[in-house]
């Protein structure tokens, strides 16, 4: 069976997250049901990241084994037709080798978190940002974030329900910058713990509003205790923006894999 990789974007607001669950619609269930309508058989998809309820994606990567051998653009358009009217869309489709795994082949993931920092609540960006009316010091937040770079035990930023075997992770990038009323936090790593990005953002908010000095982030990290860090930032501001692989599965190839 040909294996395919899909790059998806979606609005996570109406869903319980990526993973199929019994308590509500998930991105996985909607996508699998749409593909099954094309394939006439049950389908199982694997994603690069299991985004939580309310978390968005601009470039989620999924792999799936199909029976049909269609041109990539036709396959994309056919599945997108069956995805209507859900806020989920396949942006790119590409055949990949049988050993490609959207989750385990990935060597890097990037997330962006957006904070709207102004007195007025959002109208156009509802469910897309964390609205904080109190002024935040973005340079102080950036300085604090640099204490988290590198390989560390990130237990202080790990959700209690995290199922990872180890709290050790290598944070490659954590940049915080302001453009007008918008503060953007960009985080990159090979992989993240459950709620790690949201917990880091919630902790950085305590620096931004002046409650904590930037240096406290080093103490929080060293504590290796969730109780030492700040709040969990709301899911609505978080977006998966990219997944890296040793070979980009969407790079045009001269010959197909099948």
The catalytic position among 52, 127, 153, 248 is 52
Retrieve residue 63's tokens: 């792999």
Exposure string of 198-232, with b = 16+ CB inside 10 Å and e = fewer, is: bbbbbbbbbbbbeebebebbeebbeeeebebbbeb
Tell me which residue has tokens 């974007």.
Answer: 9
* Token pair 């199922």 in the structure block, residue: 163
Active-site residue flag, 99: no
Contacts of 158 (CB under 8 A, 6+ apart): 164, 167, 193, 194, 195, 196, 199, 226
Degrees, nearest 5: CA angle 76-31-97: 60
Query: Catalytic positions, please?
Result: 52
């Amino acid at each position: 069976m040909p294996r395919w990789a899909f790059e998806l974007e979606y609005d996570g607001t109406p869903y319980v997250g990526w993973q199929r669950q019994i308590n509500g619609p998930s991105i996985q269930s909607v996508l699998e049901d749409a593909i099954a309508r094309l394939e006439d058989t049950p389908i199982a998809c694997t994603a690069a990241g299991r985004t939580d309820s309310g978390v968005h994606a601009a470039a989620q990567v999924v792999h799936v084994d199909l029976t049909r051998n269609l041109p990539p653009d036709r396959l994309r358009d056919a599945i997108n037709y069956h995805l209507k009217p859900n806020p989920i869309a396949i942006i790119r489709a590409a055949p990949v080798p049988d050993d490609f795994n959207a989750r385990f082949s990935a060597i890097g993931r990037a997330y962006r978190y957006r904070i709207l920092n102004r007195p007025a609540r959002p109208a156009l960006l509802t469910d897309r940002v964390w609205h904080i009316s109190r002024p935040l010091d973005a340079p102080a937040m950036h300085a604090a974030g640099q204490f988290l770079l590198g390989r560390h035990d990130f237990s202080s930023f790990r959700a209690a329900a995290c199922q990872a075997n180890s709290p050790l992770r290598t944070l490659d990038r954590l940049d915080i910058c302001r453009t007008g009323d918008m503060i953007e936090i960009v985080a990159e790593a090979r992989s993240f713990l459950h709620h790690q990005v949201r917990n880091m953002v919630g902790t950085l908010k305590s620096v931004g509003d002046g409650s904590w000095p930037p240096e406290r982030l080093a103490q929080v990290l060293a504590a290796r205790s969730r109780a030492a860090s700040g709040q969990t930032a709301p899911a609505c501001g978080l977006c998966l923006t990219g997944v890296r692989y040793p070979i980009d599965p969407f790079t045009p190839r001269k010959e197909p894999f099948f």
